Amino acid sequence: MKIINVKKLTWLLLVICTLPSLALGKQIAIVIDDIGNHQRDLNTLNLPGKISYSILPHTPYSQIFARLASKANKELLLHIPMQALDTSKALGPGALTSDMSKEQLQYTLGNALASLPQVKGVNNHMGSALTQESLPMKWTMEVLKKRNLYFLDSRTTGLSQAQNVANLYGVENVGRHVFLDNILNEQQLQFRFNELKYKADRYNFAIAIAHPHPETIEFLQRMLPELEQQGFELVPLSQLVERKYIQLAQAEHKEVSAR
């Protein structure tokens, strides 16, 4: 099954002609995960630039955060909990698990999405077990396709099937390149931030996931203003999703022209 149909290919080629900047430049998207459990999460909205935020469903501060973020024109994702290989980890409300039927999984996901209508995409919270299973991923992508939402694979496992299945169902998708704060100290934060810039320099774009730890937020407050001076553009995640499919359209157009 092709990812891009003729109608979409035509539209993307028009975008290429009218918005050439999307195909150029070193762009970075940073997604702050795990939003919604704590009041201090609201402070992350003070971060400079076009940060994206992924909100856990049915959490104490999910609704107020979504409202404030929307007023501030911040991009939002649903951070849907998915079953992990480590079954001792608490998934939280709204979790998708491997013992669910199709109806249960799609109802649970739909309910979470209905609680946060502002979101443009979805990414997995944990999910090292569930994203390896093709069938639950098919059921997930059916819901996202109907709602025209993109999927960010947090890549909590190297065996994830999420993007393969998303491609099969025509759901626009991207994958995380760097976790910024798996180790919370200045040296490691700086190391991962440099890795993010290196990947953006090499591939012209890169995606990082971070978390609302006070140490992370303080670090980003200092580092983000320097990105533009260093030749990087901080963009909402959906802009990199769009960029990916413009590049796919360019490649397909070249292949058709060469025949």
Burial class (CB in 10 A: 0-12, 13-18, 19+), 5: exposed
Task: Output the furthest CA–CA distance in the chain (Å, rounded).
Answer: 58
pLDDT in tens, 213-248: 999 999 999 999 999 899 999 999 999 999 999 988
Q: Are strands 75-82 and 178-179 parallel, antiparallel or unpaired?
A: unpaired
Q: Is the pTM of this model over 0.85?
A: yes
Q: With a cut of 60, say whether residue 105 has pLDDT above it.
A: yes
CA distance 214 to 66: 20
pLDDT in tens, 72-93: 999 999 999 999 999 988 999 9
Please name the amino acid found at residue 100: M
Question: How many other C-beta atoms lie within 10 A of the C-beta of residue 16?
Answer: 16
Q: Which CATH architecture has domain 6-258?
A: Alpha-Beta Barrel (3.20)
pLDDT in tens, 129-138: 999 999 999 9
Q: With a cut of 50, say whether residue 181 has pLDDT above it.
A: yes
Please name the amino acid found at residue 240: L
Backbone angles phi, psi at 93, to 5 degrees: -65, 150
DSSP 8-state secondary structure symbol assigned to residue 82:
E
Which residue shows structure tokens 């070249």? 254
Q: With a cut of 60, say whether residue 20 has pLDDT above it.
A: no
Give residue 250's pLDDT. Answer: 80
- Which SS3 state, helix, strand or coil, does residue 235 take? coil
CA distance 147 to 203: 30
Calculate ∠ Cα 197-217-229, nearest 5°: 40
What number of CA atoms fall less than 13 Å from residue 10's CA on the CB side? 2
Higher-scoring residue by pLDDT: 29, 228: 29
Domain ranges of the chain: 6-258
Give the mean model confidence (pLDDT) for residues 104-128. 98
Question: How many other C-beta atoms lie within 10 A of the C-beta of residue 251?
Answer: 11
Alpha helices in 93-231 (DSSP H): 102-115, 134-147, 162-168, 186-203, 214-229
Give residue 247's pLDDT. Answer: 84
Q: What is the 3-state secondary structure (H, E, C) of 184-209?
A: CCHHHHHHHHHHHHHHHHHHCEEEEE
Give the mean model confidence (pLDDT) for residues 50-61. 98
Instruction: Decide: 30 and 220 in contact? Cβ < 8 Å.
Output: yes
The token duo for 111 is: 């309910």
